[in-house]
């Protein structure tokens, strides 16, 4: 999950934040890391660019992007499907 | 419509890797490329506004200049609806438009797309300072102090605004120039304040050409 945190920091330009500052289960939006709707779109781009995964159902977004752990689980599940 | 005595209460110029507040150098970082210079400005003034990093260069320039311009001012004494923001430049958001266009060859960047309008810069400043007065971003071939003076003076004279930040925020690649002035209707006529005239705006713009 450390690599994923680095990718999120780079993709979202979170220059004041280090990977270790982001908890595995810390909420990413609103009261957590404070990400916004544009960041959500950038996370979708990250999944496409780095993992060739397209978020098939937009309504899954809040569940998938809840925390770094939920994103990692989604990547693992869908990379296995691609493979 | 009674003509009011509008004054330039403060000015900020960012040009040639140097930041000036009221004609005095307050920071410089010669030799740095623009993105690094803008980061060094943020770090030098120890701002706590992570959104800055996500802004494009145009918004960073405008936001940073407004931050420095308003430092030490008592702008919050005015109702938010009475503070306006009138900006102008020559290249609109072309700097970011071209960067965004490059990303569309692969996967278009939403974070860049949201900055493909120059008036996003006015929005970033208004959000930061909670200004709700008249705001606009005009695009001219070159700096037009006569237009700025006439437009802002009209807003002050007809009581649409009590205070206005106005000026020039322009960038294209490494070429940039910013001049912001804080104008107050019946403002501070103290020793340091200058009358808000076309000539004084022009002088401030020309003063730090480098």
Lowest-confidence segment of B2-11, B31-40, B121-130 by average pLDDT:
B2-11
Mean pLDDT, residues B141-151: 97
Mean pLDDT, residues A54-82: 89
**CATH code at position A24:** 1.10.1200.10
**Whether pLDDT at B158 is above 90:** yes
* Chain B: residue whose CA lies nearest to A17: B50
Percent of chain A with pLDDT over 90: 69
pLDDT-based confidence at residue B85 (cuts at 50, 70, 90): very high
**Whether pLDDT at A4 is above 70:** yes
Interchain proximity A13–B111, CB inside 8 Å? yes
Find the CB nearest A38 among B53, B107, B110: B110
**Whether pLDDT at B163 is above 90:** yes
Domain of A61, in residue numbers: 2-82
Euclidean distance between CA atoms B9 and A17, whole angstroms: 37
Taking alpha carbons only, the member of B63, B71, B64, B21 closest to residue B40 is: B64
What is the residue-averaged pLDDT of chain A? 90
* Chain A: residue whose CA lies nearest to B114: A38
Instruction: Name the minimum distance, in Å, from the CA of B182 to any CA of chain A.
Output: 31
Residue of B46, B47, B51, B54 to mutate, testing the A interface (most A Cβ within 10 Å of its Cβ) = B54
Number of domain units in chain A: 1
Euclidean distance between CA atoms A33 and B145, whole angstroms: 43
The pLDDT value recorded for residue B4 is 76
Lowest-confidence segment of B2-6, B106-110, B135-139, B194-198 by average pLDDT:
B2-6
Interchain proximity A49–B107, CB inside 8 Å? yes
The pLDDT value recorded for residue B53 is 92
**DSSP string for residues in chain B:** -PPP--EEEEEEEEETTEEEETTEEEEE-TT--HHHHHHHHHHHTT---THHHHS-HHHHHHHHHHHHHHTT--GGGS-GGGEEEEEEESSTTHHHHHHHHHHTTSS--HHHHTT-STTHHHHHHHHHHT--S-EEEEE-SS--HHHHHHHHHHHHHTTS-SEEEEEEEEEETTEEEEEEEEEETT---STT-EE--HHHHHHHHHHT--
Residues 12-41 of chain A with CB under 8 A from chain B are: 12-17, 34, 38-39, 41
Q: Where are the domains of chain B?
A: 7-207
The pLDDT value recorded for residue B168 is 98
Residue with tokens 């705006």: B201
Euclidean distance between CA atoms B58 and B14, whole angstroms: 12
The pLDDT value recorded for residue B192 is 61
The pLDDT value recorded for residue B82 is 98
The pLDDT value recorded for residue A56 is 81
Q: Between residues B96 and A34, which one has the greater pLDDT?
A: B96
The pLDDT value recorded for residue A16 is 81
The pLDDT value recorded for residue B167 is 98
Percent of chain B with pLDDT over 70: 96
* Chain A: residue whose CA lies nearest to B54: A13
Instruction: Name the minimum distance, in Å, from the CA of B36 to any CA of chain A.
Output: 13
Numbers of helices and strands, H then E, in chain A: 4, 0
Question: Are B160 and B79 a contacting pair, CB within 8 Å?
Answer: no
Fold of B7-207: Peroxisomal Thiolase; Chain A, domain 1 (3.40.47)
The pLDDT value recorded for residue B170 is 98
* Chain B: residue whose CA lies nearest to A52: B107
Tokens of B159: 């009581």
Q: What Rg value do the Cα atoms of chain B yield, rounded?
A: 17
What is the residue-averaged pLDDT of chain B? 94
Q: What are phi and psi of B136, to 5 degrees?
A: -160, 155
The pLDDT value recorded for residue B1 is 61
| Angle formed by the axes of helices A37-51 and A2-12, nearest 10° | 120
pLDDT-based confidence at residue B66 (cuts at 50, 70, 90): very high
The pLDDT value recorded for residue B189 is 53
**Whether pLDDT at B191 is above 70:** no
């Amino acid at each position: 999950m450390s690599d994923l945190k680095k990718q999120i920091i780079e993709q979202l330009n979170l220059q004041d934040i280090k990977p270790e500052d982001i908890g595995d289960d810390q909420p990413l939006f609103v009261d957590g890391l404070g990400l916004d709707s544009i960041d959500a779109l950038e996370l979708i781009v990250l999944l496409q660019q780095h993992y060739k995964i397209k978020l098939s159902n937009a309504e899954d977004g809040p569940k998938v992007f809840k925390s770094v752990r939920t994103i990692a689980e989604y990547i693992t599940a869908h990379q296995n499907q691609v493979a | 419509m009674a003509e009011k005595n509008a004054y330039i209460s403060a000015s900020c110029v960012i040009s040639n890797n140097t930041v000036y507040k009221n004609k005095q150098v307050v920071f410089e970082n010669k030799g740095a490329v623009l993105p690094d210079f803008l980061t060094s400005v943020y770090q030098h003034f120890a701002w706590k506004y992570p959104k800055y990093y996500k802004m494009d260069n145009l918004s960073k320039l405008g936001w940073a200049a407004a931050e420095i311009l308003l430092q030490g001012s008592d702008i919050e004494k005015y109702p938010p609806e009475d503070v306006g923001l009138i900006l102008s430049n020559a290249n609109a958001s072309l700097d970011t438009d071209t960067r965004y266009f490059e990303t569309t060859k692969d996967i278009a960047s939403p974070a860049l797309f949201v900055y493909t309008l120059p008036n996003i810069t006015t929005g970033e400043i208004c959000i930061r300072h909670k200004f709700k007065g008249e705001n606009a971003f005009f695009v001219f071939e070159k700096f037009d102090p006569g237009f700025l003076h006439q437009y802002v003076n009209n807003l002050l004279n007809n009581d649409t605004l009590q205070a206005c930040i106005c000026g020039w925020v322009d960038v294209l690649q490494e070429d940039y120039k910013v001049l912001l002035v804080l104008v107050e209707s019946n403002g501070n006529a103290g020793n340091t304040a200058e009358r808000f005239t076309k000539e004084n705006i022009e002088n401030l713009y020309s003063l730090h050409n480098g």
